[in-house]
Amino acid sequence: MASLLSFSLPKPNIIKAVSASSATPTTTTLPAPEALDEKFGRKGIKFSESNNVPFVELTVRNGSSLKLRIPDAHVTSYKPKVYWKDDGLEEILYTVPAAGTDSTKFKGGIGLVINDATEKSSKGSVLSGYDWTVKDADNDAIDALQVELSCTAGTLDISYVVSLYPVSIATAVIVRNNGRKDVSLTSAILSHLNFKKRSRTAIHGLRGCSYCSHPPLSSPFELLSPSEAMKTESSGWFGSDSEEKPGVWTKQDVPITILKDKLSRVYAAPPSERLKPIFDTPPSKYETLDQGRELSFRVIRMGFQDIYLSSPGSLAEKYGKDYFICTGPASMLVPVVIKPGENWRGAQVIEHDNL
């Protein structure tokens, strides 16, 4: 797989998002798919429209594909080639239509979350009310495809780079502070992954890592709200609950964690450990195990400090027969501070060797 340390393809063509002086949300007139195709279309990169909402679909040579909803930078589909038989493609994202008045939006998938933590009272998304636009696109012999979206939210210029390879998908965010004051942000790239059977859903690679029960960051893409994610669920006749109480830190003591029960955790260095000159951090990668489909995927963290993980338990039934988890790199416990004129970068890679 091509190196993603610079958050670019082998032939990088990253262009900085254009800054704006206005600090209030504005309505963006989104160009038609034909105009986007003419300007950014490449082999393997196709723009389309559904219910007047622009999408872009990336498809590499082996058939692996992803679908990205442009206005909110929401990856709604990722179908990698994981089997040699037939076409070998399998949808691994759990995505459902959003309830409510706007039927064009979706829940689940892969969503970027950036919330304001500059003041204790400001917990909302810095992206609320702003639309994303296509800034650039690039390809490399349709074995590596990339689309860059940009959004200017107040004093922040934000770029979101989505890349597709034969055996991986990468999502990278670059935030630049154009203001005169420090900005504190909590953030995450949260992936809702689809699993065949609840009892055969697991995660591997976090043994020895500290964690505590913690709600997810609130986002427009959430399947479970922070309060739903933290609500306890009876696991037996006596209503016992194996999950630790919020704020209580423990260490993962098993190599594989079965995710059939409800949980919501952040894997991170505990606050007491962060006071030391040297402390352990969560691993840079871990694996999801779908034993029902005999598939595994590595989740790689770059730039973010924490790992978020949740499973819905029986609450998954309200969305259908399939099971899902929510996981991804995050900076939840300690906000990222971006000084004036500086950038912050974070990324997630999901890759596999199922072939």
Report domain extents, the chain: 33-351
pLDDT in tens, 40-70: 999 999 999 998 999 999 999 999 999 999 9
Q: Which CATH class is domain 33-351?
A: mainly beta
| pLDDT score of 190 | 98
Check pLDDT > 70 for residue 2. no
- DSSP per residue, 104-165: T-EEESEEEEEEE-SSTT--SBTTTT---EEEEEEESTTSSEEEEEEEEETTEEEEEEEEEE
Is residue 152 within 8 Å of residue 52, measured between CB atoms?
Answer: no
φ/ψ region of 21 (left if φ > 0, alpha if ψ in -120 to 50, else beta) reads alpha
pLDDT in tens, 87-120: 899 999 999 998 876 778 999 999 999 999 987 7
| pLDDT score of 249 | 96
Check pLDDT > 70 for residue 17. no
CA 18 – CA 8 distance, rounded (Å): 19
| pLDDT score of 45 | 96
Reported as a pLDDT band with limits 50, 70 and 90, residue 121 is: low
| pLDDT score of 14 | 35
Q: Please give the model's pTM, rounded to 2 decimal places.
A: 0.89
| pLDDT score of 102 | 73
Is residue 336 within 8 Å of residue 156, measured between CB atoms?
Answer: no
- DSSP per residue, 168-231: EEEEEEEEEE-SSS-EEEEEEEEEEEEES-GGGEEEES-TT-EEEE-PPPP-TT-SS-HHHHHS
| pLDDT score of 20 | 36
CA 28 – CA 20 distance, rounded (Å): 13
Percent helix / strand / coil, the chain, rounded to 5: 5, 45, 50
Check pLDDT > 90 for residue 246. no
pLDDT in tens, 311-347: 999 999 989 889 999 999 999 999 999 999 999 999 9
* Residue at 207: amino acid letter: R
